[in-house]
């Protein structure tokens, strides 16, 4: 009897343990990557996941002939949510709606009646050859315009949604453009004024800019030249060598940027893929071409991973191949080395790191394009021929909510979400800065200082300024009293001492 009871107890206990185990397994997020963040000393520590995999769509899932073959660019049109894929290997454009339904392709294009460059061509057909970039916007009449960087045909094709070409941007005949340099458009973006920016790998002077009517406007937003030993040597040699001798030396050129994106306010974000580049890895350019992110504080900001290990002759430094900007101004960077996505706020504060290299869902082989739409992040993998969609976790939503309030300057209102975030993950770095700002605007200076400490020097400085003024104001009477007392005591004491000295001197004299 007893034995049986024990047996039942044991089996019940085992069942309970197994059940608890399964529940635990269900509760813990099963992502194949570890989310982490950087602390004050730029060392990593794990944090909660901000994004998890929503779905992975391969070329086969799209139910289109030939699927996808080495696609290299992805664009989500904000207005309709349509997804445009530059299917490079199949030399076509694949278009579907935001649920990856209603898939269609664009392969041949007809020169429409609006094509003004060459009247002879109107009515002719043309096809793509390894397109590498796609951009969609609307014209003044609200009609959808598609721009395709037709890489091997050396042109950018601009057409309407029905496939009627109305403009072609080809190698400019201008003297400003070196005719020995190829014109292989990699990426293309268009601003609100209709100016077309084309990213070309062989050009280090920036993006090639065309106006809407096809005339060449020059270059835009080149990277800075890195300070290397050679540039410094050139600087000194300039004083010694003649002009002819100087021309013999190699001229330092900046590293070309490899991809870009444009936000609703016409700020252009460029990223530099080359691992040799430490400067201008991400630029946020205003319309005049100035980098908003250049030299904030003491040094340039570091984008991507902070540490760049060098193992077995291979550099694992971040190589940022893609950039996307969402409606709130958050910046998403795609790192091809580690397969990770870095989310930054519009001021460049790190929010989340997710993704990785591997075979599982949510990991990549060669990620090469990133887009964001409706708080979802779309990553295109050129070898897996798939699109991975990430969605926010509950924690990620909280952080986005708090950051949204924070960015709009509603610090006091953002206190509750930040507190909730810290309850869920006491390690989350931005929450401390957010709480510091919230408490500072609520006038709780002392607590604000505690939150800013070891998290934000600028924030601490602001809080301390208010704290100091507040402290002096509150204790002004005490200060005054203290000063008064000290002065009185000192005068009395000095008089007393003088008198004693005089007496002593008199005594000595009398002796």
Name the residues that contact another protein, by CB under 8 A. Answer: 41, 43, 452-454, 457-458, 460-461, 464-465, 468
| Angle between helix 476-510 and helix 457-474 axes, rounded to 10 deg | 70
**Strand pairing category for 131-138 and 282-285:** unpaired
Contact between 197 and 211 (Cβ < 8 Å): no
Q: Of 238 and 465, which has the nearer Cβ to another protein?
A: 465
- HEC profile for 408-462? CCCCCCCHHHHHHHHHHCCCCHHHHHHHHHHHHHCCCHHHHHHHHCCCCHHHHHH
Task: Determine the Cα–Cα distance for residues 289 and 206; give it in Å rounded to an integer.
Answer: 10
Q: Of 179 and 307, which has the nearer Cβ to another protein?
A: 307
Tell me the closest approach of the beta carbon of residue 453 to another protein, in angstroms.
6
Q: Of 354 and 460, which has the nearer Cβ to another protein?
A: 460
Tell me the closest approach of the beta carbon of residue 424 to another protein, in angstroms.
25
Tell me the closest approach of the beta carbon of residue 482 to another protein, in angstroms.
16
Tell me the closest approach of the beta carbon of residue 447 to another protein, in angstroms.
15
Q: Of 54 and 447, which has the nearer Cβ to another protein?
A: 447
- Count of Cβ atoms closer than 10 Å to residue 486 Cβ: 10
Tell me the closest approach of the beta carbon of residue 468 to another protein, in angstroms.
7
Contact between 83 and 74 (Cβ < 8 Å): yes
Take residue 187 and report the two structure tokens written for it.
Answer: 């990426």
Q: Of 41 and 310, which has the nearer Cβ to another protein?
A: 41
Tell me the closest approach of the beta carbon of residue 344 to another protein, in angstroms.
24
Task: Determine the Cα–Cα distance for residues 148 and 71; give it in Å rounded to an integer.
Answer: 13
217 phi and psi angles, rounded to 5 deg: -110, -5
Q: Of 420 and 450, which has the nearer Cβ to another protein?
A: 450
Q: Of 192 and 461, which has the nearer Cβ to another protein?
A: 461
Tell me the closest approach of the beta carbon of residue 449 to another protein, in angstroms.
8
Closest CA to 100 of 59, 51, 53, 134: 59
């Amino acid at each position: 009897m007893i034995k049986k009871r024990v047996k039942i107890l044991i089996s019940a206990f085992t069942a309970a343990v197994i059940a608890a185990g399964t529940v635990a397994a269900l509760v813990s997020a099963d992502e194949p990557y570890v989310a982490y963040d950087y602390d004050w000393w730029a060392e990593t520590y794990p944090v909660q996941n901000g994004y998890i995999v929503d779905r992975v769509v391969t070329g086969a899932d799209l139910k289109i002939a030939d699927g996808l073959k080495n696609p290299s660019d992805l664009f989500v049109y904000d207005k309709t949510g349509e997804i445009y894929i530059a299917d490079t290997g199949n030399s076509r454009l694949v278009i579907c709606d935001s649920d990856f339904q209603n898939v269609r392709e664009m392969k041949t294009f007809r020169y429409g009646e609006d094509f003004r460059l060459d009247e002879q061509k109107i009515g002719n057909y043309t096809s793509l050859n390894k397109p590498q970039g796609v951009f969609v916007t609307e014209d003044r009449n609200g009609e959808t315009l598609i721009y395709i960087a037709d890489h091997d045909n050396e042109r950018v094709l601009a057409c309407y949604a029905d496939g009627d070409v109305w403009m072609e941007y080809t190698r400019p005949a201008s003297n400003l453009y070196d005719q020995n340099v190829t014109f292989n458009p990699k990426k293309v973006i268009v601003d609100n004024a209709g100016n077309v920016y084309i990213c070309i790998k062989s050009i280090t002077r920036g993006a090639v800019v065309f106006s809407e009517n096809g005339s060449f406007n020059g270059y835009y937003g080149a990277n800075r030249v890195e300070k290397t030993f050679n540039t410094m040597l050139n600087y000194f040699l300039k004083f010694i060598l003649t002009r002819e001798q100087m021309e013999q030396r190699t001229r330092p050129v900046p590293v070309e940027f490899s991809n870009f994106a444009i936000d609703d306010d016409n700020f252009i974000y460029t990223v530099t893929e080359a691992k040799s580049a430490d400067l201008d890895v991400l630029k946020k350019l205003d319309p005049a071409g100035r980098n908003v992110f250049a030299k904030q504080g003491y040094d340039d900001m570091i984008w991507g991973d902070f540490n760049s290990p060098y193992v077995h002759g291979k550099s694992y430094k971040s190589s940022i191949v893609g950039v996307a900007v969402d409606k709130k101004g958050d910046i998403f960077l795609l790192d091809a080395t580690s397969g990770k996505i870095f989310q930054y706020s519009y001021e460049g504060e790190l929010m989340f790191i997710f993704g990785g290299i591997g075979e599982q869902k949510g990991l990549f082989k060669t990620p090469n394009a990133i887009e964001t739409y409706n708080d979802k992040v779309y990553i295109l993998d050129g070898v897996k021929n798939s699109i991975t969609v990430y969605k926010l976790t509950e924690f990620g939503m909280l952080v986005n909510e708090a950051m949204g309030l924070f960015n709009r300057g509603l610090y006091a209102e953002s206190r509750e979400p930040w507190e909730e975030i810290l309850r869920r993950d006491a390690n989350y770095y931005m929450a401390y800065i957010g709480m510091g700002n919230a408490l500072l605007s609520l006038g709780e200076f002392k607590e604000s200082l505690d939150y800013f400490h070891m998290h934000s020097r600028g924030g601490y400085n602001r809080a301390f300024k208010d704290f100091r003024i507040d402290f002096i104001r509150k204790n002004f009477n005490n200060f005054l009293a203290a000063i008064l007392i000290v002065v009185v005591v000192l005068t009395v004491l000095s008089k007393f001492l003088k008198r004693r000295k005089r007496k002593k001197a008199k005594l000595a004299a009398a002796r």
